[in-house]
Structure 1
Amino acid sequence: MERHKVLEDSLRKAACEGDLDLVIELILKGTNVNARQIINGWTPLHWAAKRGRAEIVRYLLEKGADPNILTENGETAANLATTSEVRKVLGADMNGVPTESALPITPNYIKNPPLNSKDDFGSHWTNGSLHRRQPQQSAESIDELVLKVRVANGGDPDFIEIELPRNELTYYSLLRVCCEELGLNASQVIRIRKLPNTMLRKDKDVQRLCQMQEIEVVVTPSSAKHQPNGYKSIQLYKNQTILY
């Protein structure tokens, strides 16, 4: 992947996770503050608004983030904002209600917004120096297992982020969520594997997965043909970033 694409993915991820230090660092490196994800059209501002990162929303706006950019579903950052503070920063109608995604299948990261509306990450200035606050574990991170998934040998080497409720860590639940997020039918799935080379077979396998584990869904050859570009090896792309 080209270096500027990696930096743009990292900026969207940092905005989502509330890592203001990294957001500042990436923008100072010249990373495009309005970079849209190629599939869903989300920018760093969309992610920061959706996750309630008011401090990052302010910084992005100061650095030229465009609040009028639309996602592929026609949503502005204000439409996706989950807190009144963020909506106020964006100048949105305080009586409005954030819109839901118009996708036929709504991703979990939209269906299940953060339970804690405050920033979990951030930083502050003391005596002219930037000091990083330690991340706090949110209720969302406790209740959900976050995984990175993609279609094996597909056209897009990037991962997307999915979330499994801790009380539903079963193979069937993993299969169902992967199919929903990747637009697959369960009948197309041959197997699910934990990268680099471990096949998942039962509920206990899923329960042993750790946060941000990389997963690939192996589909029938006819299904893979619909994926553009035809990347040949999962090993070559195991360090790709998730979809932000």
Structure 2
Amino acid sequence: MEKRKVLEDNLRKAACEGNIDLVIELILNGVNVNSRQIVNGWTPLHWAAKRGRGEIVRFLLEKGADPDILTENGETAANLASTPEVRKILGAPEMNGGPSESLPITPNYMKNPPLNCGKDDFGSHWTSNGSVHRRMPSSQAPESSDELVLKIRVANGVDPDFIEIELPRAELTYYSLLRVCCEELGLNASQVVRIRKLPNTMLRKDKDVQRLVQMQELEVVVTPSSAKHQPNGYKSIQLYKNQTILY
């Protein structure tokens, strides 16, 4: 169940960002082409249509994408299509003045598309390719933004420092939080025992995640064999505090 949710999230993200290689790879490996995001009901086809990804729209339709699925706001992929090409592929009539660009919530991976669009291998390089969850200083994340900024670390890890992550408010689910934590901390989901809100509240459901506030501190509790893992792929400076470090 957990792995399926993560792969479905990756498929919608790849469709949005125009990563046709990853879209093909995920679908050919059995990921549900009609999977809907739990909050807004968007499918990969909705994202591809909104972003004008004609090639991806064609491929999704060939693989069984249903153009009649509605978002939580009652929109089809054709309603969200942003280009005449995509509207034609979906069999929708042209609209005077073009399609509406309004969205109830604008996820970060629409506002800040990745700078590098190299081939991804099942989402393992989202961060290095300009991930939608790229960390930024808290001063750049106002309370009114469409992203929830959280502070995370590995519980009882070698490095006690927190790192900041972003979750699009359109995707405030437990599975999205788990996925981003694993990507940013270099963990596998199988290593995670639980995620807790400090000081001592365990997160279990989507509603728990949706109640989090800006800059909330979280700890990812991992299996004992993973506790020595160093977050972010770097070694703690505390290990070398008696040595001269050159930058």
TM interval, short-chain normalised: 0.5 to 0.7
Q: How many residues align?
A: 170
Matched, 1:235 2:244: no
Paired residues for 1:129-148 under 5 Å = 147-148=132-133
Three-state SS of the structure 2 residue aligned to 1:33 is: coil
- What is the CA-CA distance between 1:62 and the residue it aligns to? 0.7
- What is the CA-CA distance between 1:147 and the residue it aligns to? 4.7
Distance 1:227 1:32, change over 3 A: closer
Separation in structure 2 between the aligned mates of residue 72 and residue 48 of structure 1, nearest angstrom:
17
1:98 maps to 99
1:14 maps to 14
Residues 73, 101 of structure 1: 8 Å contact kept: no
1:176 maps to 143
Distance 1:220 1:46, change over 3 A: farther
Give the aligned CA root-mean-square deviation in angstroms. 4.5
- What is the CA-CA distance between 1:225 and the residue it aligns to? 11
Separation in structure 2 between the aligned mates of residue 225 and residue 5 of structure 1, nearest angstrom:
15
Separation in structure 1 between the aligned mates of residue 84 and residue 11 of structure 2, nearest angstrom:
24
Paired residues for 1:9-158 under 5 Å = 9-96=9-96, 97-101=98-102, 103=104, 106-107=105-106, 147-148=132-133
- What is the CA-CA distance between 1:68 and the residue it aligns to? 1.2
Among all aligned residue pairs of Structure 1 and Structure 2, give the percentage whose two residues are the same amino acid. 51
- What is the CA-CA distance between 1:111 and the residue it aligns to? 8.3
- What is the CA-CA distance between 1:17 and the residue it aligns to? 1.8
Structure 1 or 2, whichever has the larger Rg, is 2
Distance 1:79 1:110, change over 3 A: farther
Q: Any unmatched runs of 5+ in structure 2? A: 120-129, 155-160, 165-179, 186-196, 223-230, 233-247
Q: TM-score, normalised by structure 2?
A: 0.52
Query: Residue type matched to 2:100 in 1?
Result: T
Query: Residue type matched to 2:60 in 1?
Result: L
Query: Residue type matched to 2:207 in 1?
Result: P
Residues 152, 219 of structure 2: 8 Å contact kept: no
Three-state SS of the structure 2 residue aligned to 1:82 is: coil
Separation in structure 2 between the aligned mates of residue 174 and residue 233 of structure 1, nearest angstrom:
18
Distance 1:67 1:227, change over 3 A: closer
Residues 33, 64 of structure 1: 8 Å contact kept: yes
Residues 101, 110 of structure 1: 8 Å contact kept: no
Residues 49, 80 of structure 2: 8 Å contact kept: yes
Higher relative contact order (CA 8 A, sep 6+): 1
- What is the CA-CA distance between 1:112 and the residue it aligns to? 5.1
Separation in structure 2 between the aligned mates of residue 43 and residue 83 of structure 1, nearest angstrom:
18
- What is the CA-CA distance between 1:198 and the residue it aligns to? 3.1
Residues 58, 89 of structure 1: 8 Å contact kept: yes
Three-state SS of the structure 1 residue aligned to 2:207 is: coil
Per-residue displacement from partner, 1:32-80 (whole Å, max 9, x unpaired)? Answer: 1100011111101011112211100000001110111111122211222
Q: TM-score, normalised by structure 1?
A: 0.53
Paired residues for 1:203-242 under 5 Å = 228-229=207-208, 234-236=219-221
Distance 1:76 1:30, change over 3 A: same
Separation in structure 2 between the aligned mates of residue 3 and residue 229 of structure 1, nearest angstrom:
20
